[in-house]
């Protein structure tokens, strides 16, 4: 489906252009006018992007689960690289969320030295992040994924706090190291595909049908996942994040945790599940375990943190654990919940970081040891923080609950015991959040603190308002989002089921047999595929008692070993 | 008239919104009146809905599902924001809104001059909204929304005077204890959805067959775990004692009359699932009666008037849970309603005492209040006799209904229940004697206080928050105590005693806006028994008999002869009177009897200490190990180790290459090459 107007291309070029413009504003202008011009560039660019993203969301066809508004131009013809963009229900809200968070992050990070560069880097980052969410070409995605490191590196190191330089380097090197695996994986996949079909391409839809030996699929899955796990971050690849979140300026922390981290989880759903369905299904227990470990470990460590930004960093680890859990549940409810939870987490973590930034502006610390009783002089600040905190805890009525509930429900249906353990994270989340809140906001307050701490201004509140409204709206009425996420997710789930259940093992003889429809289903898988699809697609409409949503398939029991053996036996 | 049922929760929500935005401008007392009006309107709406429901014939026609909109829909899960209006939910809604309206009215007086007067009503209205969602919810998730919402409001209101570290800790403790139960609620929903494919009550009840076997038992016991959190049963009860840090109307409304009964309601609501397993029923009944006993014994030993009433609540909730386990659902609801009347009354009476005594909560510093507070005293007598089980007050009938069924089904549990009834009469008589009779013991407290003038100003400027001034110096010790886990009840008593004793006039009667609610509740507590008198045949007319069709054959029928009923009734009454007589004899002679207050009981059977030793401290150690060893040394250590290794090898490479980025580019290129070769060779 080619749309007449290249919405998605413009969606990337608009912030990029604004970034360029803000750098080009002449230095010799009168400072005030220059600042105003930069400001106009920054806000104009990011708000225009938001408007355009909203237009895309409005024009988005709810009933079409596939890629929409697709743009494709051959870029490097010799290598089969193309400017290939498209949006579906999975990426739509990540794009929208980015478009919402960037203007907010810009305002929250205002009035810093070298303002024009801050605006430029942030807008460039927006362009790159949106580009990554829209890319349907693996090299294009990789380019965006990688380039995103540059602006955020400069944002952290130039406008961050005391140890920001080393935090930025650690972040850069760590994620760069992860990306190497992704790059190698992409190249290898393209070569395998070329070997298989004779066509060199990096297009995601084309590569999806690549036939490869199972062990190659596993290796490629692991190399892709390594990069995504570092970026997300998934336990235990997270240790860059507390440093980076704590040292980044508020605006940087918002987009780093809110948007950039989603590149990792988005990569998992878009590439891992699409390209390596069998490996995804077979290795799901590994990733589920990492997700659960992240949920519990992040929560436990968050309890020990007295630095509020680090506390949020570890709570993010916990929340990303929920996302990973949902994705690798590989059933409709879990995946939809996971996608929704990515958006939710972006909104919540942004609100938390901005509120913590307010605290810092007032008290010059975000260590709870130096705070206390803030609710008295700053009740509105306390209220806003409370809302964000409760959303993070997963209180029903706010957005975090919907995602968390779907994730846990989906996981429970597919992999019961992981969900049971993960539910403990729900308790722990309340523990560290309320403990932090109590230390910062409750308790007696010094006279001096009470008199010198002002509450939030209307202007500050205006910046936060969209986040709070969205947190409440998605909590009460998530239907507009789920209606668009579900079709794409259901399609993905059925693709994964089909591929995992029927494509195994990819031997030429079997391939021929499959075309003729003669390949026998692997024992025990057929029924559970059907059951899973029922859970994922048709669901409760079926007759009473009939909805026995059984465990998902794990083809061939110890799939890795068996299939690996087949690979070798060739 | 039932189609307007949504008005019931909508009015408190509207009250919340209005007060949230303009409450501060409305101020004292207008904000309080607005809040009270919203709840009263909701009560009227409940009455109208009941009239509508009664116009339908008894049976399934009185079960109305109202869907408002589709809330969550994904992967086979379709959750509607829906209400279920049936006699059970409506009975709950009626008494919740009714008692709430009365307590709102009382709060107008009690919270007078509090700095956050309007905020109090913001939270209270929000609470009633969530409570109505809880009871009216048409599926488990909507109930869960209410369930979490009331817990949240409870958190807000317990830590309402957040400058007191003890209040802040108590709020957090309540939330976290409840959260443990909530995890059980979530898991139960997952099991039920997996087995039945739905979460709506009517859907689940029509498919209970799918829940037979271990899944159903697991589901109901997990729901019961949630109930033990919300309804303060063993093992999750300790939070309720700390919850007394909140303003007294909060204790009356949330921590006695309504929210804490939510667990009982949930179990009653889910009775078709509970009925699947006799073992589960026995577990529920045993936990209930054990909690009743433990709570009753603790209440006999405490000095803080509110804590005595709090443990009395825990004990009474135990009776309700016992009734649920026995299968006497109607009796459970009967006791719940009667308890709401007399326990609300007792709490408000205690509040009146505390208010009149300028925020003094220590029974040791009271005595002889009857002379000063006539209305409070008379109404308190009604509450005291009602809970003690003296006929013909409501408590006698309600508790009798529970115990009769228990006698037939689980005779052993009945013995524990009847012993607890003795304790019940004993501790409440002790409280009454210590507070209202004898000679006043509060002059001493005033004399010892040098900073009396300051304390008086504080005490008058904001009923409860006045305690903050006196308490500031105790704050440190109490904070560290609660941080480690908890402190014994006795320590808290001392802390409050030091904080609260103000100067000025030693005692005064409360204003009419507080005494009128007392009178209303006293009348209800006195006559509440008429809701469900045990006489008459199967076509007997009782207000609560309209619940019958809801439970149908699930309702346990004890088959007691008339003589048996009389005999049990006489035993109940005799035990109650005996408890009163014993306590009166002991406590009217001497008010200091430490030998009757064993430390084991006064420290809550060491539940807090056990949790602290088994969970709190090991948990803290685990967390600090996770951070300082696992995180910093292992995980990050490996990362940094790899980093420095790279640096060292890098310094070798640096002779040829310069800079990080190039190094990685080279590494990348080599890696790609190696992989290419390898893939091509293998493929």
Q: What is the mean pLDDT of residues A451-468?
A: 91
What's A113's DSSP letter? S
- B79 and B68 in contact (C-beta within 8 Å)? no
Distance CA(B449)–CA(B410), nearest Å, equals 54
* Tokens linked to A560: 């890795």
Distance CA(A249)–CA(A112), nearest Å, equals 10
Element (H, E) at A84: strand A81-87
- Alpha helices, H only, A198-307: 204-207, 214-231, 240-247, 250-255, 261-267, 273-275, 277-304
Q: Which residues pair with A135 in a beta bridge?
A: A85
Q: Is the pLDDT of residue B658 over 50?
A: no
Residues ≥6 apart with Cβ < 8 Å to A558: none
What's B362's DSSP letter? B
A residues 196..235 contacting B (CB < 8 A): 213, 216
Residue B677 at interface with chain A, using a CB cutoff of 8 Å: no
What SS3 class is residue A561? helix
B100-124: pLDDT as tens digits? 999 999 999 888 888 889 999 999 9
Asked, as a colleague might, if the bond just before A236 is cis with ω within 30 of 0, I would say yes
- B129 and B147 in contact (C-beta within 8 Å)? no
Nearest CA distance, A5 vs chain B (angstrom): 32
Distance CA(B410)–CA(B416), nearest Å, equals 10
What b/e string do you get for B458-496 counting C-beta neighbours within 10 Å, with b at 16 or more?
bbeebbbbbbbbbbeebbeebbebbeebbbbbbebbbbb
What SS3 class is residue B84? strand
State residue B676's pLDDT score: 54
Residues ≥6 apart with Cβ < 8 Å to B650: B660, B663
**pLDDT tier at B672 (50, 70, 90 boundaries)?**
low
**pLDDT tier at A565 (50, 70, 90 boundaries)?**
very low
Q: Which of A123, A100, A156 is nearest to A39 (CA)?
A: A123
Distance CA(A320)–CA(A312), nearest Å, equals 12
Distance CA(B134)–CA(B83), nearest Å, equals 10
Please state the ipTM of this predicted complex. 0.86
Nearest 5°: phi and psi at B44?
-65, -40
State residue B489's pLDDT score: 32
Distances (CA, A) of B516 to B102, B109, B528, B571: 9, 11, 18, 35
Residues ≥6 apart with Cβ < 8 Å to B480: none
- B529 and B393 in contact (C-beta within 8 Å)? yes
Question: What DSSP string describes A24-45?
Answer: HS-TTS-HHHHHHHHHHHHHHH
Average pLDDT, chain B: 84
Instruction: Kindly list the residues from chain B whose CB atom is less than 8 angstroms away from the CB atom of residue A174.
Output: 639
Q: What is the mean pLDDT of residues A461-469?
A: 94
Residue A538 at interface with chain B, using a CB cutoff of 8 Å: yes
**pLDDT tier at B542 (50, 70, 90 boundaries)?**
low
Q: Give domain limits for chain A.
A: 1-275, 290-502+511-551
Instruction: Kindly list the residues from chain B whose CB atom is less than 8 angstroms away from the CB atom of residue A397.
Output: 145, 148-149
- B2 and B53 in contact (C-beta within 8 Å)? yes
Residue B562 at interface with chain A, using a CB cutoff of 8 Å: no
Residue B17 at interface with chain A, using a CB cutoff of 8 Å: no
**pLDDT tier at B452 (50, 70, 90 boundaries)?**
very low
Least-confidence region, from A215-219, A262-266, B530-534, B615-619 = B530-534
Nearest 5°: phi and psi at A213?
-60, 150
Q: Is the pLDDT of residue A557 over 80?
A: no
Q: Which of B294, B329, B327, B293 is nearest to B408 (CA)?
A: B327
B1-39: pLDDT as tens digits? 677 889 999 999 999 999 999 988 888 889 999 999 999
Distance CA(B198)–CA(B110), nearest Å, equals 45
Residue with tokens 């803290």: B620
* CB pair distance less than 8 Å for B639 and A419: no
Q: Which tops the pLDDT comparison, A562 or A310? A: A310
Residue B186 at interface with chain A, using a CB cutoff of 8 Å: yes
Q: What is the mean pLDDT of residues A50-54?
A: 96
Question: What DSSP string describes B598-632?
Answer: -HHHHTGGGHHHHHIIIIIHHHHHHHHHIIIIIII
* CB pair distance less than 8 Å for B679 and A216: yes
Q: Which tops the pLDDT comparison, B541 or A124? A: A124
For chain A, what percentages of helix, strand and coil (3-state, to nearest 5) are there?
75, 5, 20
Residues ≥6 apart with Cβ < 8 Å to B219: B188, B191, B192, B195, B211, B273
* Tokens linked to B588: 């009217």
State residue B329's pLDDT score: 92
State residue B356's pLDDT score: 82
What SS3 class is residue B82? strand
Distance CA(B396)–CA(B391), nearest Å, equals 5
B30-71: pLDDT as tens digits? 999 999 999 999 999 999 999 988 888 887 888 888 888 999
Nearest 5°: phi and psi at A135?
-70, 135
What's B389's DSSP letter? T
State residue A245's pLDDT score: 93
* CB pair distance less than 8 Å for A188 and B675: yes
Number of CB atoms found within 10 A of residue A45's CB: 28
Of the CA atoms within 13 Å of residue A484, those in its CB half-sphere come to: 22
Question: What DSSP string describes B311-327?
Answer: HHHHHHHHHHHHHHHHT
- B314 and B291 in contact (C-beta within 8 Å)? yes
Residues ≥6 apart with Cβ < 8 Å to B622: A300
Residue B141 at interface with chain A, using a CB cutoff of 8 Å: yes
Q: Is the pLDDT of residue B443 over 90?
A: no
- B133 and B145 in contact (C-beta within 8 Å)? yes
Q: Which of A185, A193, A211 is nearest to A80 (CA)?
A: A193
Residue A426 at interface with chain B, using a CB cutoff of 8 Å: yes
- A134 and A85 in contact (C-beta within 8 Å)? yes
**pLDDT tier at A172 (50, 70, 90 boundaries)?**
confident
For chain B, what percentages of helix, strand and coil (3-state, to nearest 5) are there?
80, 5, 20
A394 torsion bin: left (phi>0), alpha (psi -120 to 50), beta (else): left
What SS3 class is residue A75? strand
State residue B1's pLDDT score: 63
Element (H, E) at B487: none
Instruction: Kindly list the residues from chain A whose CB atom is less than 8 angstroms away from the CB atom of residue B479.
Output: 443
Distance CA(B257)–CA(B341), nearest Å, equals 7
Q: Is the pLDDT of residue A503 over 80?
A: no
A residues 461..490 contacting B (CB < 8 A): 476-479, 482-483, 485-486, 489-490
Distances (CA, A) of B352 to A70, A548, B64: 71, 57, 41
* CB pair distance less than 8 Å for A483 and B187: no
- Chains A, B: CB pairs < 8 Å: 220
Q: Which of B321, B270, B325 is nearest to B139 (CA)?
A: B270
Dihedral over alpha carbons B133, B139, B142, B148 (to 10 degrees): 90
Q: Which of A526, A542, A525 is nearest to A534 (CA)?
A: A542
Termini Cα distance of chain A: 41
Distance CA(A2)–CA(B479), nearest Å, equals 65
A residues 233..272 contacting B (CB < 8 A): 236, 238-240
Residue B215 at interface with chain A, using a CB cutoff of 8 Å: no
Q: Which of A96, A125, A97 is nearest to A109 (CA)?
A: A125
Element (H, E) at B506: none
Question: What is the torsional sign of CA A113, A116, A117, A120?
Answer: positive
State residue B203's pLDDT score: 93
Least-confidence region, from A3-12, B9-18, B285-294, B427-436 = A3-12
What b/e string do you get for A534-552 counting C-beta neighbours within 10 Å, with b at 16 or more?
bbbbebbeeeeeebebeeb
Nearest CA distance, B286 vs chain A (angstrom): 26
Rounded to 5°, angle at Cα B556 from B552 and B559? 115
**Percent of chain A whose predicted confidence (pLDDT) is above 70:** 87
Distance CA(A505)–CA(A502), nearest Å, equals 8
A residues 293..352 contacting B (CB < 8 A): 297, 300-301, 303-305, 331-337
State residue B593's pLDDT score: 85
* CB pair distance less than 8 Å for A540 and B197: yes
Overall pTM surpassing 0.95 (yes/no): no
State residue B458's pLDDT score: 32
- A552 and A419 in contact (C-beta within 8 Å)? no
Closest in A301, A405, A427 to B627, CB measured? A301
Distances (CA, A) of B616 to A116, A174, B168, B611: 51, 36, 18, 6
Closest in B182, B472, B626 to A300, CB measured? B626
State residue B172's pLDDT score: 93
What SS3 class is residue A137? strand
């Amino acid at each position: 489906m080619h749309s007449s107007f290249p919405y998605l291309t413009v969606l990337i070029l608009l912030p990029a252009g604004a970034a360029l413009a803000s750098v080009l504003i002449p230095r010799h202008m009168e400072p005030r006018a220059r600042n105003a011009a930069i400001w106009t560039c920054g806000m104009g660019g990011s708000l225009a992007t938001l408007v355009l993203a909203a237009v895309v969301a409005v024009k988005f066809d709810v009933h079409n689960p596939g890629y929409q508004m697709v743009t494709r131009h051959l870029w490097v013809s010799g290598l089969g690289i193309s400017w290939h963009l498209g949006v579906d229900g999975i990426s739509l809200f990540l794009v929208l969320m980015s478009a919402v968070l960037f203007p907010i992050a810009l305002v929250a990070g205002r009035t810093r030295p070298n303002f024009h560069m801050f605006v430029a880097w942030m807008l460039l980052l927006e362009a790159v992040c949106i580009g990554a969410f829209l890319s349907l070409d693996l090299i294009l995605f990789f380019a965006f994924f990688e380039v995103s490191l540059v602006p955020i590196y400069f944002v952290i190191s130039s406008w961050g706090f005391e140890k920001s330089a080393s935090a930025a380097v650690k972040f850069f090197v760590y994620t760069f190291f992860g990306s190497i695996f992704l790059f190698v994986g992409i190249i290898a996949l393209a070569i395998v595909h070329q070997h298989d079909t004779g066509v060199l391409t990096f297009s995601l839809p084309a590569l999806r049908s690549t036939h490869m030996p199972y062990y190659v699929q596993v290796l490629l899955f692991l190399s892709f996942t390594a990069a995504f796990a570092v970026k997300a971050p998934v336990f235990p690849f997270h240790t860059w994040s507390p440093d980076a979140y704590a040292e980044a300026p508020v605006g940087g922390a918002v987009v780093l945790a809110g948007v950039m981290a989603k590149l990792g989880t988005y990569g998992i759903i878009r590439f891992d599940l699409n390209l390596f369905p069998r490996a995804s299904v077979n290795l799901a227990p590994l990733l589920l375990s990492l997700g659960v470990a992240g949920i519990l470990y992040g929560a436990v460590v968050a309890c020990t943190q007295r630095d509020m930004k680090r506390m949020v960093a570890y709570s993010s680890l916990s929340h990303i654990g929920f996302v990973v859990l949902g994705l690798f549940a590989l059933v409709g409810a879990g995946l939809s919940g996971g996608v929704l939870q990515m958006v939710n987490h972006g909104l919540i973590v942004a609100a938390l970081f901005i509120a913590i930034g307010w605290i810092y502006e007032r008290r010059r610390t975000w260590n709870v040891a130096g705070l206390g009783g803030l609710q008295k002089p700053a009740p509105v600040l306390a209220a806003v923080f409370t809302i964000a905190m409760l959303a993070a805890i997963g209180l029903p009525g706010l957005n975090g609950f919907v995602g968390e509930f779907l994730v846990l429900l989906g996981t429970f249906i597919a992999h019961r015991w992981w969900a049971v353990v993960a539910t403990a994270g729900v308790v722990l989340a309340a523990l560290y959040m309320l403990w932090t809140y109590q230390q910062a906001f409750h308790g007696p307050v010094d006279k001096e603190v009470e008199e010198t701490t002002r509450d939030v201004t209307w202007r500050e509140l205006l910046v936060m308002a969209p986040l709070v409204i969205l947190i409440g709206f998605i909590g009460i009425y998530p239907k507009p989002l789920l209606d668009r996420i579900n079709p794409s997710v259901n399609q993905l789930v059925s693709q994964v089921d089909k591929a995992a259940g029927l494509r195994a093992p990819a031997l030429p003889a079997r391939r021929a047999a499959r075309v003729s429809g003669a390949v026998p289903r692997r024992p025990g898988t057929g029924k559970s595929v059907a059951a899973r699809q029922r859970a994922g697609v048709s669901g409760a409409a079926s007759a009473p008692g009939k909805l026995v949503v059984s465990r998902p398939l794990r083809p061939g029991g110890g799939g890795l070993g068996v299939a690996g053996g087949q690979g070798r036996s060739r | 008239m039932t189609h307007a049922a949504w008005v019931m929760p909508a009015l408190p929500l509207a009250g919340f919104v209005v007060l949230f935005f303009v409450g501060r401008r409305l101020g004292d007392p207008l904000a309080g009146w607005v809040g009270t009006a919203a709840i009263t309107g909701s009560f009227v709406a409940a009455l109208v809905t009941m009239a509508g429901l009664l116009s339908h014939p008894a049976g399934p026609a009185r079960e109305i599902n109202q869907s408002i909109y589709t809330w969550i829909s994904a992967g086979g899960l379709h959750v509607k924001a829906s209400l279920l209006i049936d006699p059970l939910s409506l009975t709950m809604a009626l008494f919740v809104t009714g008692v709430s309206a009365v307590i709102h009215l009382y709060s107008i007086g009690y919270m007078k001059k509090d700095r956050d007067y309007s905020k109090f009503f913001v939270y209270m209205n929000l609470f009633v909204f969530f409570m109505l969602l809880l009871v009216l919810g048409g599926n488990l998730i909507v109930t869960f929304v209410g369930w979490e919402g009331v817990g949240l409001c409870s958190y807000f209101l317990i830590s309402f005077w957040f400058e007191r570290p003890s209040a802040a800790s108590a709020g957090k403790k309540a939330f976290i204890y409840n959260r443990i139960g909530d995890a059980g609620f979530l898991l139960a929903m997952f099991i039920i959805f997996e087995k039945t494919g739905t979460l709506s009550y009517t859907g689940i009840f029509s498919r209970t067959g799918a829940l037979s076997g271990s899944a159903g038992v697991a589901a109901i016991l997990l729901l019961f775990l949630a109930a033990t959190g919300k309804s303060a049963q063993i093992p999750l009860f300790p939070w309720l004692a700390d919850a007394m840090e909140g303003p007294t109307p909060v204790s009356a409304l949330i921590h006695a009359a309504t929210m804490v009964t939510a667990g009982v309601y949930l179990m009653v609501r889910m009775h078709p699932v509970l009925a699947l397993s006799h073992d589960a029923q026995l577990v529920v009944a045993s936990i209930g009666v054990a909690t009743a006993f433990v709570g009753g014994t603790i209440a006999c030993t405490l000095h803080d008037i509110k804590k005595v009433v709090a443990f009395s609540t825990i004990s009474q909730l135990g009776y309700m849970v016992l009734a649920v386990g026995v299968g006497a659902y109607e009796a459970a609801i009967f006791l719940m309603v009667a308890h709401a009347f007399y326990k609300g009354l007792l709490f408000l009476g205690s509040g009146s005492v505390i208010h009149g005594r300028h925020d003094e909560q220590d029974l040791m510093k009271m005595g002889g209040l009857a002379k000063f507070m006539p209305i409070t005293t008379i109404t308190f007598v009604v509450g005291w006799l009602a809970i003690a089980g003296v006929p013909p007050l409501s408590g006698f009938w309600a508790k009798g209904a529970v115990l009769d069924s228990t006698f037939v089904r689980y005779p052993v549990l009945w013995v524990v229940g009847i012993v607890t009834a003795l304790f019940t009469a004993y501790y409440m008589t002790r409280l009454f004697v210590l507070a209202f009779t004898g000679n006043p013991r509060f002059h001493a407290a005033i004399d010892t206080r040098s900073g009396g003038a300051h304390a008086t100003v504080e005490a008058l400027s904001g009923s409860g928050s006045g305690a903050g001034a006196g308490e500031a110096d105790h704050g440190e010790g109490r904070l560290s105590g609660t941080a480690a886990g908890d402190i014994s009840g006795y320590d808290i008593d001392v802390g409050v005693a030091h904080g609260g004793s103000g100067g000025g006039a030693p005692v005064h009667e409360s204003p009419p806006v507080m005494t009128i609610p007392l009178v209303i509740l006293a009348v209800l507590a006195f006559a509440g028994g008429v809701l469900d008198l045990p006489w008459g045949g199967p076509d007997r007319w009782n207000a609560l008999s309209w619940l019958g069709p809801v439970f149908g054959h699930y309702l346990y029928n004890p088959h007691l002869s008339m003589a048996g009923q009389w005999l049990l009734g006489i035993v109940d009454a005799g035990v109650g009177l005996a408890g009163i007589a014993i306590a009166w004899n002991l406590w009217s002679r001497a008010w200091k009897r430490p030998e009757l207050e064993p430390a084991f009981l006064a420290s809550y059977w060491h539940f807090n200490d056990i949790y602290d030793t088994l969970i709190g401290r090991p948990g803290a150690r685990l967390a600090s190990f996770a951070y300082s060893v696992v995180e910093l040394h292992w995980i990050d250590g490996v990362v940094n180790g790899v980093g420095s290794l790279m640096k060292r090898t890098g310094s070798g490479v640096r002779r040829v290459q310069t800079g990080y980025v190039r190094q990685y580019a080279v590494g990348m290129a080599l890696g790609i090459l190696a992989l290419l070769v390898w893939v091509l060779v293998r493929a």
